[in-house]
Every structure is written in C-alpha cells, then in structure tokens.
Amino acid sequence: MLQTVTGPADPAAVGLADGHGHAWIMPPPGVAPDYRLELHDVAVIKAELSDFRSAGGGLLVDCQPGGCGRDARMLAQLATETGLFITATTGFHRQVYYPPDHWLWSATVEATAAYFVEELTQGTRESGGRVRAATIKVGYEGVIEGQTRVLMEAAADAARQTGAVILFHTERGRNVEALLSFFGERGVPPERLYICHVDKRPDFGLHRELAEAGALLGYDTFVRPKYDPEHGVWPLLRRMVAAGLAGSIAIGLDLALPEMWRHYGGGPGLLALPERIIPRLRQEGFDRPTIARLTGQNVARRLVWRMPEDQE
C-alpha cells in the first residue's frame, strides 16, 4: 500500500496524480527572501485541490521536506477536506531553503538517518508523530560533496532500512549520471530512485540509460513555456514511449509558486493535468493504459516501499 498523510491507499486506485507536487510551503524564519516560496493560503489551496479532485485527480506527491516549509498537519487537513491523497516527504532540500543555523547542515550521517527513518516509520516531527512521510527527498545540485554527501549517505541508509523511494530534486538534470553508482554502491538499487526535473535536460540517450537501469524519471515542463516543451519534453516523451520506456516516467506539475496556481490568480494550475496534458497525450496517439501509467500509475506504484531484495 501507498503510505499517504491520511493512511494507506491502494496505488491501483489513485487515478490521476501530480507526480511532483506542492500543496503547502510555509518557509521558516531566517530563509533569504529570494528563496521563500510562500504557498500557505489554506482556502485558496483547498479550492484548487478540490478542482483537481473533481476532475479526476487522486494523488499529489508533495515534495517539500521538513525544516524548509513542510507542514504535514496541513497536508493531512487538506487531504481530508478535499478527498485527495497526498504523500509527504522527509529528507532534505537545497540548503538555500533553510535558515542558516538549521541542524541538518551540521548533523552526522547517523543522526540524520535516524531522523529520516523516524519520519517514515513513526511520523513527521511537526505532526507529533501523527502523520508519516512516504519518500526521502534529496536536494541534489549536481555535486556529491560536503554536508550534501553526508545527507545523501543518510538518505541511502534510510532507504535501505525502510524500502522507501529517494526522490531527487535535480538542477535541470545536472550530473544525474553520478546518482546510480553512488546509491548502487550503498545498496539502493535504481528501482528505488525517482529522479525529478530531468526533462529540463532532454537528452534521449541519457534518459534511455537511466530508465533501462530501472530509475523512475520525473517530467514536469509540459505546460511551462520557459522550458520550451515543444522542443524539449514532448519529443523526448515520444521517443521514450516508442522505445517501450513509458513505465519509467512520471508526469508532474511542480507548482511551487503561488503564481502557478489558478486560485491564486495565476496558472497553469493543477487542472492543466486533466485539461491540457491528458488531451495532448491522446493527441500524440498514446493508448489509454500508457496515459494512465504516465499520469499516475507509475508514480503511485513506485512509491510503495519495497526492500531491495524484492524488486520487481
């Protein structure tokens, strides 16, 4: 079963999913103004999530870890009130999203791994152990060194202990090549790695290699003109599907900024998934099962914990 903020869910039944989402971000004091993502108007967020739910939305994979804006209590409240399944994440994001003195950035591997495992198996800190995380986020800027390396060791340790997936923020796919060997050497197989934002580097050869190795790839630029989707993600997706790799891709929206939400007065909004992306996937000629996998099934099934020895 998939571990959501409101309890276990059958991954086969979640329907449409935002595979890399944000439902709530309340930056803590001390975060620099440029890195404050202010996504915490409960009425506005609830309205948008409800719209998504009414249009067939079933799951949002929330990607904000603790200490840099997550509030698992709010995620649980929003999930309860809208009927949407939401998963929470432990782990860590890029350091710029934390106050300068946050403990993670001087913690040991052991203390960090214990914290990640606690949030996955007992519950998130801010919820007083009431709401559990499902995934382990790694804010990967493309280099494995310093404290990031320490935290990545801890993520590997926690993934090994629990079977949870490691969900990567990447800087437009920068140096994702290094991830498979780093985690492989630490007993975490590619099947437990979910590499996001990698369509910002639409190199088919690279994507094929990662997918064939077993990693799940997160694509989220379909409705973001800034990333030139007509020359980037759409041709990439076509080639991946033609190569039989549709089982290795999860579509997300990554609406981390209020101006990307319709109820905040912006766009494309969560409804872009059912209203724009799904019709376009049909237009591309993909069959129903393929579309269902790309827009929900792949990510929902992958997020179910699985120990390394029983990979599919």
Instruction: State in angstroms the smallest separation of the CB of 68 from Zn ion.
Output: 11
CA pair distance 295, 186, nearest whole angstrom: 30
Taking the least distance from each CB to Zn ion, the nearer of 48 and 254 is 254
Extract the runs of DSSP E, i.e. beta strands, from the chain.
2-4, 7-9, 16-21, 57-62, 85-87, 89-92, 135-140, 165-170, 193-195, 216-219, 249-251
Taking the least distance from each CB to Zn ion, the nearer of 17 and 63 is 63
Taking the least distance from each CB to Zn ion, the nearer of 18 and 254 is 254
Instruction: State in angstroms the smallest separation of the CB of 22 from Zn ion.
Output: 6
Taking the least distance from each CB to Zn ion, the nearer of 82 and 89 is 89
Instruction: State in angstroms the smallest separation of the CB of 45 from Zn ion.
Output: 15
Q: Which residues contact 236 (CB under 8 A, 6 or more apart)?
A: 199, 202, 204, 207, 219
Instruction: State in angstroms the smallest separation of the CB of 233 from Zn ion.
Output: 16
Instruction: State in angstroms the smallest separation of the CB of 256 from Zn ion.
Output: 5
Taking the least distance from each CB to Zn ion, the nearer of 170 and 297 is 170
Instruction: State in angstroms the smallest separation of the CB of 238 from Zn ion.
Output: 25
Is 187:156 a contact under the CB 8 Å cutoff?
A: yes
Burial code of 115-144, b = ≥16 C-beta within 10 A, e = fewer?
Answer: bbbbbbbebbebbeeebbbbbbbbbbeeee
* DSSP single-letter state for residue 268: S
Instruction: State in angstroms the smallest separation of the CB of 251 from Zn ion.
Output: 14
**Cis peptide, bond prior to residue 268, ω within 30 of zero:** yes
Q: Of 107, 67, 56, 106, give the one whose Cα is nearest residue 89.
A: 67
Instruction: State in angstroms the smallest separation of the CB of 93 from Zn ion.
Output: 9
CA pair distance 83, 58, nearest whole angstrom: 8
Residues that bind Zn ion (CB under 5 A): 63, 254, 256
CA angle 14, 66, 113 (to 5 degrees): 95
Taking the least distance from each CB to Zn ion, the nearer of 157 and 254 is 254
Q: Which residues contact 291 (CB under 8 A, 6 or more apart)?
A: 278, 281, 282
Taking the least distance from each CB to Zn ion, the nearer of 243 and 256 is 256
Taking the least distance from each CB to Zn ion, the nearer of 204 and 227 is 227
CA pair distance 121, 123, nearest whole angstrom: 6
